Structure 1
Amino acid sequence: MSDINSISNVLQDYSIEKKAKTDKKDGNELGQKAFLQLMITQLENQDPLSPQENGEFIAQLAQFSSVESLDRLNNNFDSFTKNFVANQALQASSLVGRSVSVETNTSYLMQGSAVTGLVEIPESTDDLKVDIYSNSGELLDTIDIGYVPAGDLAFRWNGQYAEINGKLINWKSSHEGGLPEGSYKFSFTSTVEGKPHQMKSYLSANVNSVTIGSNGALKLNLAGVGAVNLSDVKQFNE
């Protein structure tokens, strides 16, 4: 039932946006009926002593035929677009409630769950560390990881313990019982040429809802992160 509601909400948002653009377009362009009415009025009011040439009349008919064909083409394209959007909405609804990883330094820790993600390590380092901040910017914990090789590093943190590449590291939160549910910021750094170097991180976040723009582009609304494009998702988590 939640999937059906998600599809309905997505299509409703799309329809409202589409209708607003259509109304604006109709108000600015000459429609098929108006074009035909103008041509008939022109014929009825032409000078009998200097009637319209056959060539001019045929040219106007050809122009009218082109307008009519374009109108049918637009209607067919609108129908195709609606079907495409409906299919997109159906696919998007299955993402609601799932966890995805996107490029961000912020994630939301849910009770009984963990923040997971990938960290890009451009070259091996022996002093990788993770600083964990509150949403207001207060430093809460520091995880000294130490040596890691170059490549994608899998990270998992549940507020009390941390795992690197599936292995529990020798670290425990300085907060008794671990940190509570909430939004946190993470900074993965190592020393490069004597200066701290920030690593690129892709952290997990739950999909709260999905919206579709007028161009059919999907946007995921992620807990603790905000809206991101579907194309920006690094991976879909189990």
Structure 2
Amino acid sequence: MSISSVNAAGTVLDQYQLKDSAPKSNELGKNEFLNLLVAQLNNQDPLSPQDNGEFIAQLAQFSTVEGVDKLNTSMESMLSGYQSSQALQASSLVGRKVIIPTDKAVVDTSETFKASLVLPATSGNVYVNVYDSAGSTVSRVNLGQQEAGNVSFMWDGKDASGNTLPPGTYKFEAQATYGTETKALYTMLPANVDSVTLGQNGGELMLNLAGLGSIGLSKVQVIGQ
């Protein structure tokens, strides 16, 4: 490579220098990398010029630094858009009812409570025990024989004697018998969304449920009215 070629290369590289101020950290940014490369070209030994292959490799390094910088900018933009989407979801969920996998629910006993359970295989005897906040059994919902799948059930808010119980948090224990075995079942119960917490750094949106605590949006099965 001749001296004139080196100077030409330096002139071309000079065109790409940005006029930004010095970096605020000790990291080597793309501007500093470019300045070092140009300085190397301007100060190399004319009798022993830089090898073409090495020069191309350094330009490739600069291209990589430039690409990483643009990728970081794009990722920041995507994250910002995702957080905006989360905020929109949050505003639409507050005050609505969701169906989640849990065994507890806040029940308004003046109305019929509707929920469902997951039955993995057909059973001749399916039932749901209802417990109050003190852990005492207050009622049982008998469903008899049921086919495998999601099985709906209802509770009228009354105890075994037909007395209406006070509103509050109740536990629902679904079970099914298979011969001499009794197996516990998953229940899908409704809950009201009081508020939401936006995920930090792209994390999951958390729903704060009335009387039940928080749960991730990914665990919600159904979003109701």
TM over 0.5: yes
Query: Given that residues 117 and 202 in structure 1 are in contact (C-alpha distance below 8 angstroms), is that contact kept between their aligned partners in structure 2?
Result: yes
- Quick one: which of 140, 164, 167 aligns to 1:180? 167
User: With structure 1 as the length reference, what TM-score do the two structures score?
Assistant: 0.66
1:145 matched to 2:142: yes
Structure 1 SS opposite 2:93: coil
Per chain length, whose mean CA-contact separation is higher, i.e. which structure has more relative contact order (CA < 8 Å, sep 6+)? 1
- Residue of structure 1 in register with 2:220 after alignment: 233
| Distance in 2, Cα, partners of 1:98 & 1:72 | 41
Quick check: which has more Rg, 1 or 2?
A: 2
Shift of 1:200: 1.8
Q: How many residues align?
A: 199
Q: CA deviation at 1:49?
A: 6.7
The range that moved more, 77-86 or 91-100, is: 77-86
Shift of the 84–28 alpha-carbon distance from structure 1 to 2, 3 Å rule, reads farther
Q: Shift in Å at residue 221 of structure 1? A: 2.9
Matches within 5 A, 1:128-207: 128-135=126-133, 138-150=135-147, 151-157=149-155, 159-160=157-158, 172-174=159-161, 176-181=163-168, 183-207=169-193
Q: Which moved more, 1:196-205 or 1:228-237?
A: 228-237
* Structure 1 residues 144 and 227, CA gap change in structure 2 (3 angstroms): closer
How far is the alpha carbon of 1:37 from its aligned partner? 4.9
Secondary structure at 1:214's aligned position in 2? helix
Hey, what's the Cα distance between the residues in 2 that align with 1:27 and 1:157? 64
Structure 1 residue 74 and structure 2 residue 60: aligned? no
- In structure 2, give the amino acid aligned to 1:201: T
Amino acid at match of 2:183: H
Partner Cα separation in structure 2 for residue 140 and residue 28 of structure 1: 66
1:117 Cα deviation (Å)? 1.7
TM-superposed CA distance for 1:141, in Å, is 1.0
Question: Sequence identity of aligned pairs in percent?
Answer: 39
- Structure 2 length-normalised TM: 0.69
